[in-house]
């Protein structure tokens, strides 16, 4: 690993990540675990303690499991929160998020996980520290240049960092994206404005996410496990000219009093306020040479469905293994083209989905007993997101799809997949020879596993009785094939990116 030197000196690394939020931290963990040299910088001098993006969806929980962080997240978060809706100040209905779902052998997380973003980041920083890497705070990127050989970044204090690749995970106002001149096309809704903040809320039951809706106003208070603070969201007060007022504790209290009609709920101890308008925008490309964009730097959208942070985490997991393979010499640089090929269509789909979910919520709140659960459809789990169109979908009926979990006699498949490698699953005794041959030829690129599936969970999940399934490092299926295709699989991996 490289270390920081005196002002004006130049240091080198494989990948420089700009932005230490959930996207940047996930990317750094993925790279560092694979043995790539990585530095992650952030212009903020201190780590924030605000709730911001407050939920991990089911697919992100699976990826955190792969990184060894899901158990800690589960101990900090809440599953199946109950949404309590009020109309005219009266409780009219309770809805449990994904309350009709239970864990299954192929899908172990039946619910998302509700917890403040600062805690998600704290957990990811802990995983990153285990690999000997820590975010460098107070480090602002001033400029960068790139050539055929790499990227040179200059920090605001004059230090320079040379990297093979640079990734902008620096938010919706991304300086990296702007420096690249990448278009960020879409719209800003001038009318749809919201206020958000973290406050204490005395007089409320923390077993519920309380949501008050009136004809022309709304306010929601969401609790967090082990925390005295709640996240408040609502429509802002407006002045006589119709302009939204800046958020404040006093305006939050007036909004709550108006909607809840309960004098006993008192807000106090605000730790964070923000106001925002809904932006729906996407970069027209996610790569320019040796520089990549991920998370909000590449796409922003409505909060409906809670996909902002999750989409960024999933961007990072897709990009991370590919960068690691290239910088470690396990794949040719052409592999990196598949990041935009796969994730740009997913981002476009996400923008459309969140727009549709927002419309459903806005229509739903006009009805008694209907609220934000209108956004919680199967789509927002992102368990169904796959890359069937990708050049890395090499064949078989489920190529490109998420690789399911399954309990086998020798452990969970998710534990077999965990790590920066492809996994070749063998079903049936006839696959044993192919596993041995492919494993010998591919070395560090591949882990092989003969599935001991006495109860048939894995066979049912993968729709296969005899044969081979190749799973990518990001837990998507690359190929399903007969037991005689081991040599072809090895050849594909040895020529990856070419």
pLDDT digits 0-9 by tens, 396-410: 989 999 999 999 988
CATH number at residue 415: 3.40.30.120
What would the mean pLDDT of 285-305 be, rounded to a whole number?
Answer: 92
Residue 147 burial (CB count, 10 A): 9
- Which alpha helices (DSSP H) does 303-379 contain, by range? 308-327, 337-364
Residue 38 lies in a domain: yes
Q: Which residue has the tokens 């675990």?
A: 33
Q: Are residues 48 and 152 located together in one domain of the fold? A: yes
Collapsing DSSP to helix, strand or coil, 438 comes out as helix
Tell me the CA distances in angstroms from 68 to 26, 93, 262, 295, 414, one per residue in order: 12, 37, 44, 21, 11
Q: Are residues 374 and 434 in the same domain?
A: no
Residue 105 has pLDDT above 50, yes or no: yes
CB 243 within 8 A of CB 191: no
Q: Are residues 238 and 257 in the same domain?
A: yes
- 16 occurs within a structural domain: yes
The tens digit of pLDDT for each residue in 415-450 reads 999 999 999 999 999 999 999 999 999 998 999 999
Domain membership of residue 390 (yes or no) is no
Distance of CA 423 to the CA centre of its chain: 23
Both tokens assigned to 163: 């990297």
Please tell me the pTM assigned to this model: 0.94
Confirm whether 88 is domain-assigned: no
Q: In the prediction, which pLDDT does 225 show?
A: 95
- The count of domains in the chain is 3
Sign of CA dihedral 419, 320, 387, 478: negative
Do 18 and 152 lie in a common domain? yes
Asked if the model's pLDDT at residue 255 lies above 70, the reply is yes
Residue where a domain stops, chosen among 218, 245, 278: 278
Q: How confident is the model at residue 245 (pLDDT cuts 50, 70, 90)?
A: confident
Residue 134: what are its φ and ψ, rounded to 5°? -130, 145
Q: Are 153 and 13 spatial neighbours (Cβ–Cβ below 8 Å)?
A: no
pLDDT band for position 368 (cuts 50, 70, 90) = low
In this prediction, residue 8 carries a pLDDT of 54
User: Where does a domain end: 247, 278, 309?
Assistant: 278
Least Cα distance to 167 among 313, 358, 356, 23 occurs for 23
Sheet with 467-471, strands from edge to edge, namely 446-450, 422-427, 467-471, 477-481
pLDDT surpassing 90 at residue 360: no
Q: What is the mean pLDDT of residues 233-238?
A: 87
What burial letters (b/e) apply to 285-294, b meaning 16+ CB within 10 Å?
ebbbebbbbb
The count of other CB atoms within 10 Å of the CB of residue 162 is 15
162 and 29 assigned to the same domain: yes
**What integer pLDDT is reported at residue 153 of this predicted model?**
97
Residue 135 lies in a domain: yes
Three-state DSSP class for residue 346: helix
Residues 424 and 287 in one domain: no
Instruction: Clarify whether residues 167 and 46 are in a common domain.
Output: yes
Q: Domain containing 49: what range? A: 10-77+112-185+280-381
As a whole number, mean pLDDT of residues 259-286 equals 90
The length of the chain in residues reads 498
Q: Among 383, 288, 287, 393, which residue's Cα sits nearest to residue 339?
A: 287
Beta pairing class for 291-293 and 160-168: parallel
User: pLDDT digit string (tens) for 185-201?
Assistant: 998 876 678 899 999 99
C-alpha dist (Å) from residue 88 to 253, 261, 360, 492: 17, 8, 21, 62
Give the pLDDT score at 358.
72
Res 6 pLDDT > 60: no
* Average pLDDT value for residue range 233-249: 87
Residue 476 pLDDT level (bands cut at 50, 70, 90): very high
Q: Residue range 72-98: average pLDDT?
A: 93
- Rg of the chain over all Cα atoms, to the nearest angstrom: 24
> Is 86 domain-assigned?
no
- Domain contains 396: no
Q: Where are the alpha helices (DSSP H) in 34-136?
A: 58-66, 70-76, 117-130
Residue 171 CA from chain centroid, whole number: 13
Do 204 and 247 have their domain in common? yes
Task: State whether 46 and 122 are in the same domain.
Answer: yes
Tokens 């640089």 appear where?
333
Is 49 in the same domain as 136?
yes
**Exposed / middle / buried, residue 409 (Cβ in 10 Å: 0-12, 13-18, 19+):** exposed
β-partners of residue 201 are 267
Answer yes or no: do 286 and 272 share one domain: no
145 in the same domain as 59:
yes
Q: Which of 5-19, 108-122, 211-225, 373-387 has the highest mean pLDDT?
A: 108-122
């Amino acid at each position: 690993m490289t270390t920081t030197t005196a002002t004006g000196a130049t240091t080198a690394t494989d990948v420089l990540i700009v932005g230490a939020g959930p996207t940047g931290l996930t990317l750094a963990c993925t790279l560092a675990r694979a043995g790539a040299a990585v530095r992650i910088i952030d212009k903020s001098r201190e780590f924030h303690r605000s709730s911001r993006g407050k939920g991990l969806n089911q697919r992100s929980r699976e990826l955190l499991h792969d990184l060894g962080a899901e158990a800690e997240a589960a101990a900090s978060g809440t599953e199946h929160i109950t949404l309590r809706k009020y109309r005219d100040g009266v409780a009219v209905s309770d809805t449990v998020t994904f309350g009709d779902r239970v864990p299954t052998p192929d899908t172990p997380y039946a619910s998302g996980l509700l917890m403040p973003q600062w805690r998600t980041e704290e957990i990811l920083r802990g995983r990153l520290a285990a690999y000997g890497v820590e975010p460098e705070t107070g480090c602002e990127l001033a400029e960068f240049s790139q050539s055929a050989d790499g990227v040179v970044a200059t920090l605001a204090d004059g230090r320079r960092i040379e990297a093979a690749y640079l990734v902008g995970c620096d938010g919706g106002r991304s300086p990296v994206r702007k420096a690249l001149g990448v278009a960020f096309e879409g719209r800003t809704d001038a009318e749809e404005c919201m206020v958000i903040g973290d406050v204490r809320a005395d007089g409320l039951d923390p077993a519920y996410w309380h949501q008050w809706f009136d004809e022309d106003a709304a306010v929601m208070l969401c609790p967090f496990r082990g925390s005295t603070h709640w996240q408040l969201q609502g429509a802002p007060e407006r002045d006589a000219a119709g302009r939204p007022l800046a958020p404040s504790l006093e305006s939050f209290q007036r909004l709550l009093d108006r909607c809840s009609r309960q004098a006993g709920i008192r807000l106090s101890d605000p730790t964070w306020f923000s106001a925002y308008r809904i932006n729906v925008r996407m970069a027209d490309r996610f790569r320019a040479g040796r520089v990549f964009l991920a998370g909000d730097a590449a796409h922003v959208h409505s909060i409906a469905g809670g996909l902002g942070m999750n989409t960024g985490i999933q961007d990072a997991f897709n990009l991370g293994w590919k960068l690691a393979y290239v910088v470690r010499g396990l794949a040719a640089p052409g592999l990196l083209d598949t990041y935009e090929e796969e994730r740009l269509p997913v981002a476009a789909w996400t923008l459309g989905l969140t727009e549709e979910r927002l419309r459903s919520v806005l229509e739903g709140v006009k009805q008694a007993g209907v609220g934000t659960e209108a956004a919680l459809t199967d789509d927002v789990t992102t368990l169904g997101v796959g890359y069937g169109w990708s050049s890395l979908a090499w064949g078989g009926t489920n190529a490109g799809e998420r690789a399911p979990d399954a309990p086998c006699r020798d452990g969970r498949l998710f534990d077999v997949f965990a790590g920066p490698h492809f996994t070749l699953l063998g079903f049936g005794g006839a696959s044993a020879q192919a596993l041995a041959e492919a494993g010998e030829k591919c070395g560090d690129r591949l882990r092989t596993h003969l599935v001991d599936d006495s109860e048939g969970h894995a066979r049912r999940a993968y729709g296969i009785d005899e044969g081979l399934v190749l799973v990518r490092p990001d837990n998507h299926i690359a190929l399903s094939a007969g037991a005689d295709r081991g040599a072809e699989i090895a050849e594909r991996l040895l020529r990856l990116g070419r």
